Structures are given as C-alpha cells and as structure tokens.
Structure 1
Amino acid sequence: MSGSGDGTVGKALGVLDQVAGFGRPVRFSELLEQSDLPKATLYRLLQTLTNQGMVAYDPERGVYSPGMRLVRLAHAAWAQSSLAEVARPYLDRLSREAGETVHLAQLDGGHVLYVDKRNAADPVEMYSQSGKVGPAYCTGVGKAMLAHLPADDLTRVLKQQSFHRFTPATLPDEAALRAELAEIREHGYGFDREEHEPGIICVAVPILSGRGRCLGALSVTGTTTRTNLAELERLVPRIKAAAQAIAEEAQHWRFPDRPVEAEEER
C-alpha cells in the first residue's frame, strides 16, 4: 500500500487510495490500522493531501474523505480516458435489445474497471457497479480484454492475477486461463460461467481498434434462473456490432491509433 518504491509521491497516492477504498468517511485510527506507514508519516501525508484538496477532513466528526479537487480530477479523467461517453447510446440500444444487464469495462492495470452499466428491466443484485474494480481472470469482460493483449503485456498482467477460487467454476491457474484466452481469440467472444459469482453468467466481446488494440469490452449478463449460455451466445452478433460502433467512434474521437513510427519517436 505504501508505494515506497516511488518515494513520497507513491506513498501519498497509496494513502489516497486507502482513503477512497473505504467507500465512506474514515478515521485516522482506521487508516493507521491498515497502513504499513509509521504513524507520523501517515499523518504528515494526510495533512499534505488535505492542504492540496485531494482529501477533505471533517474536524467535528474526525474523519477523512476524498476531496473536491480529487473529484474534479476524476471527472476530467473519466471524460478524457473513459469509453463511457461515446458508448452511452450503444449501451442504451443493446440494453433494450437484450433485455439483460449490459456492462462496459476497461482494464485498470491487472484488474477490470466497470466504466458503465445498464440494468436489466428486472434488475438483479450483482457485484459489478460503475466505477468498481473487479478481477480480470474470472469475469467475461476481463477475459475478453486479456485475450487481445500483446504477448508481453499479457504476461505482465497475468502475474498480477490472484487466481482466488470465488466459485467451483473459477479457473484455477494461469495455464487454464491461457487455454481459454486462446479460444476467445479464435471465436471473438468469451463467457463467464459463474466464475466470479454463483448464478451470474455472461457473454463478452472485446472492443478493438482498427489495428487490433484492445480499448475495452462489452458484455451482456444474466442469471442462471432466467437464461443460459446458449441464449446469451445468440446475442453475440448484436454485441459485436455495438462493440465495433463504439470502437469506430472512440478512435475518431479519443483513442486514435498511432503508427508504430510515431510511437517510436515519442
């Protein structure tokens, strides 16, 4: 958590992550209990973050929470780096056509960031929410994105997977995951077979640029009580059409493909 390898900045960002990670205002004692930083260092970093507006402190309640400056930066990052804005109309249409929950996700390091979500007409409780981070190795959107990473990037990201067995269907190790990723690359879509949550299944498609760069993934999710993988698989052509439309619009707007030569000159 401390980010000691990146010096003071890394430590401060670690504290910021910790404050945000509680999902509620948090006391200093709670932060200290979970921190590997000395008490004086943690307090000093919290003071700096508070002075910079990245963290807010409520003296009456004695609690810390994310500051308004962080909120402004988050909104700017969301607008400039997220697929959510360009994808919105396509998610709306796919949600109406599928009648099930639709997810839009992007990779955040070795994890899945749920960027946007459309609930089914009859919504069900599930882990995924916009802005929430989940595992990549046992979710449909995660596997769809992993399958289309360059080899070196995939190797790096796989080292970050925990392979915790959430359910009996969770893939147990890297070898099993790599075998499934090969199938996903071949077919252009993948499944979540109750691998993260019991009773929750999905079919997922990568969002790929014209050069094959993975921008994100799109999925339709349902429950085993009202659908099955074969029914979800029938939606693949519609999901692929939505993914392609999102990719085309995103490339022209925010995620243009650069020639290799241009990347090398940077």
Structure 2
Amino acid sequence: MSGDGTVGKACDVLDLVAGFNRPVRFGELLDHSPFPKATLYRFLQTLTNQGMLSYDSDRQSYTLGIRLVRLAHAAWTQSSLAPVARPHLDALSRDLGETVHLAQLDASQVLYVDKRNADDPVEMYSQAGKVGPAYCTGVGKAMLAFLPEDALTRAIQQQSFHRFTPHTLGSEAELRAELDAIRARGYAFDREEHEPGIICIAAPILTPGDRMLGAMSITGPTSRTDLKTLEKWAPRVRQAADDIGREAQAWRFPETLHKEAMAT
C-alpha cells in the first residue's frame, strides 16, 4: 500500500483495477484490496466521478476511464522517449526484420514504451505499456548498468530474482557481475533469461552527458537467430541508441545540454 496519503491510495486503487486487465466487479476488488469496504467504495466513486474510472451499471463493473487515456497519451508525447525514437525504431525494424523494443525504467522495473514487430512475429511477453523485470531482460540490464551507484543499489533491492528459466540470474552478485561486463562492452544480452526461446541484444540510451534515459533492443527467437548473429548488429543498435540519446537531450534537457557544451 502506498504511503503517500490519499493520492497514493487512489493510485493504488487504479493499479488494482488495471491489474485485472478486464472489467472487474466491486466484490473482486474488495477481495484483493487492503482497504475496508467503505473506504474502497469511496475511492471508486471519486475516481469514477473524476473520469479516471468508468462504471458499467448493467454489468456492475469498473474499467479504467477515458481520462486516463488522455493522460497516458500526453505522457507518451511529453515524457517518454517514443516520439524521438520512432524514426530510429522504424529504420531498425525495416533493415533488420526482427522485433525492436524501446524501454524506460519505472520504479526499478522495465516499462516497454514502444515496439516494432518482426517481419515474421512470434509471441512474446513484451508489449507497449507492459511492465517487466529489469534483472533478466536485455533492456533492463542495459539500463541498470548505467545507473549511478546509489540509484543502482536501490534498484537492485527491488528485484525479485525469481528464476523464470534455467538461465535467469538468481542473485545480486550474479547481476552485478553481468552489469560490469555490460559496461565494458557497451551492450547487454538476454540469453533466454526471461522467456524460453527468446534472446536479444540491447543498448542503453544515454545523453551526451551520460544521463541514462532508457534502452532499446533487437529481439528474436532462437528458432531463427542466435547471440552471435545478434552481436553483429551491436554497432547499429548502439548508433541508434546514441542518436536517440542526443536528440532526446536536446528535446528534454536543452538547458543541461547547453551547460555541457559550454563546459567542453
């Protein structure tokens, strides 16, 4: 439960509704809610009145409201890397033919903010808007590797180290060793660590001043590619990530970019 007062609790209720991925009835929410019945009902009413939730009186169920759609679109436009990265994702997808991901960190986890499917797509967990683990995905490890040490320590403390496959990193020591290797070579791999049969190469998206903004990856199934093939694309992926970082710096942090230029 959030410790941020009424607003935090309201966000907890939104997360609860969103977690069902379908219309959900009050009784189901109550079964999974930390709030008393009256408190939960009051939050649901307020959020519905504000357009953050929608209530279907015929089915007596709640879904996320249209106001959230507007806010999400504004956040995607103003805060995510997606608008800047779009042409680079399109070019990689067109030239390489495999799945391209764009991700940012959200509460020490991976938030997929954009995706281009392969020419011959395969089913995988990642979708734009989904959240996944950072310690066992290529984009997640690429981002963790370039966090400042204090932020990295906090992020590692929030990893579950659940073993999804026999290849999943299972401890902080294993993860830190992997992050050292990623820093040395400048890119990360997913060696079937999150999903069996799915591998990737990922590069961090850094500003010219080394501020970590996100990561991007080229992902494919082991049935048609391997890590050696993916590694051949490392220069291309790193160049695209560098271009995105430079353009995003000018877009999101123009004052910082000016100061860094003056200092050189």
Q: State TM-score, norm by structure 1.
A: 0.95
**SS state at 1:171 partner:** coil
Partner of 2:169: 171
What per-residue deviation string (whole Å, max 9, x for no partner) do you get for residues 194-214 of structure 1?
000000000000000011111
What per-residue deviation string (whole Å, max 9, x for no partner) do you get for residues 146-196 of structure 1?
000000000001111000000000001011000000110111001000000
Cα drift, residue 257 of structure 1: 6.4
Structure 2 distance, partners of 1:143, 1:255, is: 24
Structure 1 distance, partners of 2:213, 2:88, is: 15
Within 5 Å, which residues of 2 pair with 1:1-266? 2-3=1-2, 5-256=3-254, 258=256
In structure 2, do the counterparts of structure 1 residues 257 and 94 end up closer, same or farther at CA, with 3 Å as the change threshold? farther
Asked if the contact 1:206/1:216 (under 8 Å) is kept, the reply is yes
Alignment gaps of 5+ in structure 1: 262-266
Structure 2 distance, partners of 1:188, 1:257, is: 27
Cα drift, residue 256 of structure 1: 3.9
Structure 2 distance, partners of 1:69, 1:252, is: 30
Asked if the contact 1:144/1:205 (under 8 Å) is kept, the reply is yes
What per-residue deviation string (whole Å, max 9, x for no partner) do you get for residues 215-236 of structure 1?
1101000111111000000000
Amino acid across the alignment from 1:213:
R
Of stretches 23-32 and 137-146 in structure 1, the one that deviates more from structure 2 is 23-32
Cα drift, residue 84 of structure 1: 0.6
What per-residue deviation string (whole Å, max 9, x for no partner) do you get for residues 234-265 of structure 1?
00011011111111111111244638x9xxxx
What per-residue deviation string (whole Å, max 9, x for no partner) do you get for residues 5-58 of structure 1?
212211111001111121111111111111111111100110111111111111
Structure 2 distance, partners of 1:98, 1:236, is: 12
Structure 2 distance, partners of 1:219, 1:94, is: 10
Aligned residues: 259
Asked if the contact 1:211/1:257 (under 8 Å) is kept, the reply is no
In structure 2, do the counterparts of structure 1 residues 225 and 257 end up closer, same or farther at CA, with 3 Å as the change threshold? farther
Structure 1 distance, partners of 2:165, 2:171, is: 14
Partner of 1:264: none
Partner of 2:262: none
Structure 2 distance, partners of 1:192, 1:95, is: 19
Amino acid across the alignment from 2:151:
D
Asked if the contact 1:251/1:257 (under 8 Å) is kept, the reply is no
Alignment gaps of 5+ in structure 2: 260-264
**SS state at 2:76 partner:** helix
Of stretches 20-29 and 128-137 in structure 1, the one that deviates more from structure 2 is 20-29
Please give the root-mean-square deviation of Cα atoms over the aligned residues, in Å: 1.4
Q: State TM-score, norm by structure 2.
A: 0.95
